[in-house]
């Protein structure tokens, strides 16, 4: 089951479990759409894997299997939190 990490690893933007703006690689490295498209060109900086839209989890599925609360932050030089 996917962890559904709560933030972008680059800019630390919150990524709720129902957002369409979260992208992941096959190792579940998680990035916001802005960082993935504008700075990472759709490639994970950790494993070089392709970034794809993360599935959402809502309703009873989310209640039974909550998203992770563990934040991972590995800032990439090209990414910066929007001001």
Domain membership of residue 74 (yes or no) is: no
Encode the chain (83 residues) as per-residue pLDDT tens digits: 899 999 999 999 999 999 999 999 999 999 999 999 999 999 999 999 999 999 999 999 999 999 999 999 987 777 765 55
79 lies in a domain?
no
Q: Which residues form the domain of 5?
A: 1-55
User: Is residue 77 domain-resident?
Assistant: no
What is the pTM assigned to this prediction? 0.88
Q: Which residues of 25-55 are buried (b: 16+ CB within 10 A; e: fewer)?
A: beeebbbbbbbbeebbeeebbeeeeebeebe
- In a domain, residue 30? The reply is yes
Report the number of distinct structural domains present in the chain: 1
23 within some domain:
yes
For residue 42, being part of any structural domain is answered with yes
Residue 19 included in any domain? yes
């Amino acid at each position: 089951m996917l962890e559904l990490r709560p933030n972008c690893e680059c800019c630390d933007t919150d990524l709720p479990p129902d957002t369409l703006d979260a992208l992941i690689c096959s190792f579940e490295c998680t990035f916001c759409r802005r960082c993935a498209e504008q700075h990472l060109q759709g490639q994970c900086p950790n494993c070089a894997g392709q970034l794809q839209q993360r599935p959402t989890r809502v309703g009873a599925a989310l209640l039974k299997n909550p998203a992770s609360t563990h934040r991972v932050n590995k800032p990439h030089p090209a990414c910066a939190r929007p001001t």
